[in-house]
Structure 1
Amino acid sequence: MKWINSNDDYFLRDFSDKNKAEKNTGDNTGSDSNATVQPNVGQEDTSPSDSGNTTASTNEFSFPGSSAPTQSSGRRDEPAIQQEPPIKKRRRARRRLIWFFLIVAIMLSVAFHIRYYVPYTSDTKTTGYITLVERRGLFFKTYEGEMISESHLNDTSQIYSRDFYFSIPNDSLGHLIQSYQGTGQKVTLTTQKYYGTLPWRGSQRIVVTGVSAK
């Protein structure tokens, strides 16, 4: 009769010794792995903080032209964004007021220039007889004259009167026209007519610019 060796037969083999050896080896490797894992665990714990610091540090800076604003920059710009609309409204209101007053000033200056400095008739010839030329004015002295026009003398239906009044801003011209006063000599005056009068130009809207005797 042949005896079967328990080591050769799989079913009769005792696995208790092998299991114990595997447990011992497993415990040793487990302790080694635990010893080796612990530093890794500490590194893993520190790595998120490092990554968080890096992300926070990157969020603190923003480059010009970047489309996505950072969280910190957004918080800082929030009060500025709230204050920008009133400032813009005030600036627009000031600009509108400035443009309004500028346009009004331009219109007034143009109207003043047209009324007092632009004659609506010029180089008008009037012939007649000088009856009076005198110098008048408190602050601005100008020559003021009166004349009977020839057309008024020829009209017999009207009463004889002085019908033409004029101012002479030029002193030399005033002296020349004054020399014809009461002489009965017929003269022709070249005049301009304005819409308004100026104190340094005379009290009449008709201003004499030239004279010629006949």
Structure 2
Amino acid sequence: MKKFAWIAGIILVGVLAGIFWYKFYFVFGEGVKAGSLNYFVKKGVIFKTYEGRVVQEGFQSPTAGGLQSNEFRFSVVDAEVAEKLERASGKFVELRYEEFNGMLPWRGTSNFVVTDVLTVKDPGKTEGAALPFDQ
């Protein structure tokens, strides 16, 4: 009977560890989002985490006939990525992110974790366009 209890206990711990890994560490999705960086801040009571919001072009609404800006809320774990975003407030950014099934307090308050900053551009400037005073 003791042998059965040990085997059942090991199996139970293994199953619980697998569920925990799937919920909090399995990368559910990856992608790229682009928009204007609205804010980026380091905050927290116990765990200081980097949190940000990108406002994307266009509008979406949960109800018919309403307007609401399309926002992408995210967290950042890597200090290098956070440093890039701190200098990009108000600019157009393209961000590579990973989506997890659940959030952890030391990883941030969002299921979306930005892993890389692909592009940072000033919103009013276009590349390669001739300005009137260049002629």
Shorter chain as denominator, the TM-score bin is: 0.7 to 0.9
Q: Establish whether residue 126 from structure 1 lines up as the match of residue 33 from structure 2.
A: yes
Find the counterpart in structure 1 of residue 107 from structure 2: 201
Matching residue's letter, 1:101:
G
Q: Tell me which residue corresponds to 2:47.
A: 140
* Residue deviations 1:168-201 (CA, integer Å, cap 9, x gap): 112221121121112xx32111000000111111
Q: Which has the higher strand share?
A: 2
Number of residue pairs aligned between Structure 1 and Structure 2: 117
Percent of aligned pairs with the same amino acid: 26
Which letter does structure 1 place at the counterpart of 2:15? M
- In our comparison, the structure showing a higher alpha carbon Rg is 1
- 2: CA distance, partners of 1:177 / 1:160: 24
Q: CA deviation at 1:159?
A: 2.3
Task: Establish whether residue 101 from structure 1 lines up as the match of residue 4 from structure 2.
Answer: no
What is aligned with 2:132? none
Residue deviations 1:47-79 (CA, integer Å, cap 9, x gap) = xxxxxxxxxxxxxxxxxxxxxxxxxxxxxxxxx
Structure with larger RCO (C-alpha < 8 A, sep 6+): 2
State the match for 1:60 in structure 2. none
Structure 1 distance, partners of 2:40, 2:81, is 11
List runs of 5+ in structure 2 lacking aligned partners.
122-135
Alpha-carbon distance in structure 2 between the residues aligned to 1:154 and 1:101: 52
Q: Partner of 1:179 in structure 2?
A: 87
Query: For the Cα contact (< 8 Å) 2:60–2:68, is it kept in 1?
Result: no
Displacement of 1:111 in angstroms is 0.9
Cα displacement (A) at 1:97: 0.6
> CA offsets, 1:82-115, max 9 Å, x none?
xxxxxxxxxxx10111111110000000111111
Q: What does the per-residue CA deviation read over 1:137-196, in whole Å, with 9 as the maximum and x for residues that have no partner?
A: 12221110011113xx266965243521000112221121121112xx321110000001
SS at match of 2:103: coil
- Indicate if the aligned counterparts of 1:118 and 1:194 stay in contact, CA closer than 8 A: yes
Instruction: Report the counterpart of residue 159 of structure 1 in structure 2.
Output: 67
Q: What's the secondary structure of 1:134's corresponding residue?
A: strand
SS state at 1:140 partner = coil
Distance 1:142 1:168, change over 3 A: same
TM-score normalised per structure 1: 0.51
The code of the aligned residue for 2:114 comes to: V
CA offsets per residue over residues 9-59 of structure 1, 9 Å max, x none?
xxxxxxxxxxxxxxxxxxxxxxxxxxxxxxxxxxxxxxxxxxxxxxxxxxx
- C-alpha contact 1:142 1:171 (8 A) present in aligned 2: no
Taking structure 2 as the reference length, what is the TM-score of the superposition?
0.79
RMSD: 1.9
| Equivalent AA in structure 2 for residue 204 of structure 1 | S
- Aligned residue type for 2:79: D
